[in-house]
Amino acid sequence: MICVDLARVGIAQPDKVLFDDLSVTVSTGERVAIVGVNGSGKSTLMRLMAGTQSPDEGEVRFGRGVRIAILDQDPRLPVGTVAEYLGDSWEVAAVATSLGVQPLLERSTDQLSGGQAKRVALARALVGEFDMIVLDEPTNHLDLEAIEWLEQRLAATKAALVVITHDRHLMDRLTTARGEGRIVEIERGKGYIHRAATGTSAYAAYLEGRAARHEQAASEEATRKILARRELEWLQRGAPARSTKPKARLRSANEIVAGGPEAVGVRGNELLLDAGSTRLGNQVIELIGVSQAYGSNLVFRDVELVIEPGARLGVVGPNGSGKSTLLDIVAGRSEPATGEVKRGSTVVTGYADQQTSLLDPEAIVREIVAGPLRQPDWEDRVLLERFWFDSTAQYAPVKMLSGGERRRLQLVMVLATKPNLLVLDEPTNDLDLDTLRALESFLDEWPGALVVASHDRTFLDRTVDHVLAIDPGGAIRRVAGGVQGWLEERNSRPIGVSSRKPTPTSRADSAPSTKSRQTSQYTLGRQLRDAEQAMGKLQRQVDRLNEQLVATTDHTVLATLGAELATAQAELAAIEENWLVLAEQQTG
C-alpha cells in the first residue's frame, strides 16, 4: 500500500531554496531516513510527508484511508493530563514504562519540560494502528536503555517509517534488511536517494554515494582550474599587435582560478579549529567523597573521581540518575551536599548544557558569541564561519535559527571562551550528521580534558576512553568495554542482583541501605519490558491462530488449532497479570 507520494515537490524560504523537484514514494513496511545539515529542510520534508504542511510546488498524494502518526521536533500537547492524552490500554502503559513516562501520567501537559513532552508525544506515536510513523529526532531525551528498546520496537513494526535522527546506530539498523531501507539526503537544495544493497544498510550506501559525489566534484574542479589557468596565460600573453588587454575577461579568469567549486555539503574537518585553549596544568578536577541529594532523594554518594589532563570520560545512566547533576558539580555550577571538589588553578571550564531554549531569542548571533562586555571581532567571525554561520546568519536573531543551529551556536559560545576542560551535556541533540563527525574529529585532536554525558552510542564510542556509570543506589564506577560493555552488563544481570561493588572510582559503602536492597527501578523496568515483549509475541501468535481457524474447515486441524489457541491465550493472560503487578510495584 502506498502511504504517501511526493511528486516533484519544492519548498523555498525568502533567502534560499530548501529543496526542489524532489520525488519520493513511501509504502507500507519501508524505512526512510532523512539526512542533511541543520536548516537544510529535513523537518519541512517530514511535515510534507505527514500532511501537516503543503509544498510551494509539486504535489503530495496520500493513500486512501492512510493512518499517519507524527512526532514533531518540538511537540505541542493538548491541554489535559498525560493519561488523558495517551489513553489507558495495557499497551499504552507498557510503552509509557519503557520510555520513562509512567510517573508523568497524572501530570498536566502544560507542566511538562520539553524533554518530558517529547517522550510523551513519542509514546503516543508508538501506540495504535498506523500505516506510517513519522518521527523527528525520536532519541532526543531518551537514555541508552530506552533507545535500545525503541530500536527494537521500530525494527519490528509493520508500518512504514520516516525518521530524522542523528543516531547512526539506529539509522544503520533501521535501513538494513529486505531492501526496503532508503536514505533521502538533502544538500544545497537538491535531493539524493540512497538505497540499501543486499546485506548492507542504506546508511552505508549514503556514505559511499556522498563520498563518490564529493570526489567527483573535486575532480571536476581540478579540471576546471587547469582550463582556467590556460585561458588566463593566453589572455596575459596577448597578441603582438594588441595595445590593451580585455580587462573584463582577465578579471573573470582570475576569479575562476582563485575561486573554488560550489560548496559541497559542509566544511567537514575545517571544524578542526585552533581553539586557542588555555594551557592546562597537572591538576584538573578531583572529587573526594562527594555526595549529592535533594531533600530525602539521594542522587549519588561517596564519589571518588580524578579527572586528569587529557581525560576523555563519558557518563552514562538512566534518565534521572544524576548525570547532569554530576556535570554541574564538575563544572563548578553547583556544590555537593557533602565531600570536597579540588580544582586546578589553570582550569578554564566550558560547559554546554541542554538548555538552548534559554538563549535570548532576540539576541544577534555574532553579539551573543562575543558576550556583553565587548564588540564582535574577526576571531568571532572566523569561529562562526567554521561552524557554518555565514555572514547573513551571523547577523540573524536567535529566533530565526533551527534547533540544530541553536545547538551549534551553543558550542561556538563555549569554544569562544577558550576552555581547557569541556563539559558537555547531551551535545548531540539536534545536530546534523556532518556536525557530529566534525565535532568528533575536533575532540580527537583537542588537547584539553573532556567529560560528556550522551545517549549517542556512536559518539561516545568515538570520543571517550572510559565510561562512568551511575548505578541504582547512587554508586558511580568505571565500566570496562565502554557503552556496549555497560549495556551488555545491565541486560545480562540476573533479576534481583544488584550492581557489582564499585571500583576505586567510587567509595560507595559495602552495606547498602534497605531501599537499595529492594528491587530497583531499573530491574522493575527491565522486567516490565521483558513482559511487554512476551505479550507482544503471544498476541501475534493468538492473531495468527485466529486467522488459521477462520481459513480452515478441517475438523482435525480445527481441534489442534483450538488447543494451541487456548494455551496461548492462557499464557497471555498470565503474563498480562504479572505485568500489572510489576507496574503497580514500580508506581508504588
CA distance 77 to 406: 23
Q: Which among 262-266, 348-352, 407-411, 480-484 has the top mean pLDDT?
A: 348-352
Q: How confident is the model at residue 510 (pLDDT cuts 50, 70, 90)?
A: very low
Cell numbers placing 401: 535559527
Query: Cα separations (Å) of 398 from 157, 359, 412?
Result: 38, 7, 13
At 9-48, the pLDDT tens digits run 999 987 788 999 999 999 998 999 999 888 888 999 999 9
Rg (CA), the chain: 28
At 170-209, the pLDDT tens digits run 888 888 755 578 999 998 888 999 987 766 788 888 888 8
At 288-310, the pLDDT tens digits run 999 998 877 888 888 988 888 88
Of 124, 122, 191, 120, nearest to 151 by C-alpha is: 122
More confident residue, 9 or 562: 9
Task: Tell me if 30 sits within 8 A of 180, measured CB to CB.
Answer: yes
Task: Tell me if 474 sits within 8 A of 468, measured CB to CB.
Answer: no
More confident residue, 313 or 260: 313
Of 74, 75, 45, 69, nearest to 58 by C-alpha is: 45
Of 202, 44, 229, 31, nearest to 132 by C-alpha is: 31
Percent of the chain whose predicted confidence (pLDDT) is above 70: 82
pLDDT exceeds cutoff 70 at 496: no
β 57-62/2-13 pair status: antiparallel
Strand order across the 285-294 sheet: 297-307, 285-294, 338-343
Residues 6+ apart with CB under 8 A from 40: 18, 19, 186, 187, 188, 432
The half-sphere exposure of 435 on its side-chain side, counting CA atoms within 13 A, is: 27
β 338-343/57-62 pair status: unpaired
What pLDDT is stored for residue 504 in this prediction? 41
Q: How confident is the model at residue 249 (pLDDT cuts 50, 70, 90)?
A: low
Strand, helix or coil at 39?
coil
Could you tell me the domains of the chain? Answer: 2-200 (3.40.50.300), 212-265 (no CATH), 285-348+418-517 (3.40.50.300), 521-587 (1.10.287)
Percent of the chain whose predicted confidence (pLDDT) is above 90: 27
Residues 6+ apart with CB under 8 A from 10: 17, 19, 20, 21, 22, 55, 56, 57, 58
Biggest alpha carbon distance in the chain? 106
pLDDT exceeds cutoff 90 at 230: no
Of 340, 243, 222, nearest to 290 by C-alpha is: 340
- What pTM value is reported for the model? 0.69
- Torsion sign across C-alpha atoms 558, 564, 568, 571: positive
